[in-house]
Amino acid sequence: MTHNVEMSAPFKVNGKEPRQTDNFIYLGSIITPEGGTKEEIHSRLGKARRVFREMNNTWRSAQYSTSTKLKLYQSCVVSTLLYRSECWRITETDLGKLRSFHTTCRMLRIFLPEKITNEDLLRRCKQEDMGTIITKHRWRWIGHVLRKDPQSTARAALHWTPEDKRKRGRPRTSWRRTVEGEMKAMNQTWGSLTRLAQVRQGWRKFVAALHTIRCKGRRRRRRR
């Protein structure tokens, strides 16, 4: 697979010309020429649905408490769904699909004609919004990266900028733009976050408070 490169001549590996492909799986993730995560999120949703269906007997059983079912949901279903989500480039459409899955995996035995809002459902299940969960996953991982040696590849990638010029028009949503937008909403810089990340306990408190920060950001946007 090539990315922004045209092959002038075929090449061979061990005497054989490799087959070209539009995507491939590497370490459980789908790699595409565009570098997006649409296919990856679609794949993770399918795998999470399969895990949830395989545990239907557990969800329907009266033998287990709701608390036990929610712990199983977090450890088996959510972990499958959000594998590698720390590096996802998420659009509002993608986030809507993830939120829909999160709120339709119901274990409270709610039947028609009873109705319940998604907010009430999450509150009764003591679950966070999917956007908050992904944000916490991302910043928890960023904390690990900021504690690495400044010369490490992962650390350098946080600030790396491609040399090629981008196409005309509105820039696409990217992982870096998402992170920098959240930094701006939190009145933070890479320097202040790097200093904060060195103290693990302080970083854990920072990540735990991200739900409050997200809510404040939404309220500011509504006022505008």
Q: Can you spell out the DSSP letters for 49-86?
A: HHHHHHTHHHHH-SSS-HHHHHHHIIIIIIHHHTTTGG
Whether 107 and 139 have beta carbons less than 8 Å apart is answered as no
| pTM across the whole model | 0.78
Q: For residue range 138-177, list pLDDT tens digits in order.
A: 999 999 999 998 888 888 888 777 666 666 767 677 888 8
Gyration radius of the chain over CA positions: 21
Give the distance from CA 12 to its chain's centroid: 37
In a domain, 10, yes or no: no
| pLDDT given at position 224 | 47
Intervals of the chain under pLDDT 50: 215-224
> Looking at residue 51, what is its pLDDT?
94
Residue 120 lies in a domain: yes
In a domain? residue 117: yes
The pLDDT assigned to 219 comes to 46
- Inter-residue contact 105 to 77 (CB < 8 Å): yes
Question: Do 33 and 101 lie in a common domain?
Answer: yes
Which range of residues forms the domain containing residue 92? 24-127
Q: Are residues 148 and 121 located together in one domain of the fold?
A: no
pLDDT for position 12: 79
* 191 and 109, same domain (yes or no): no
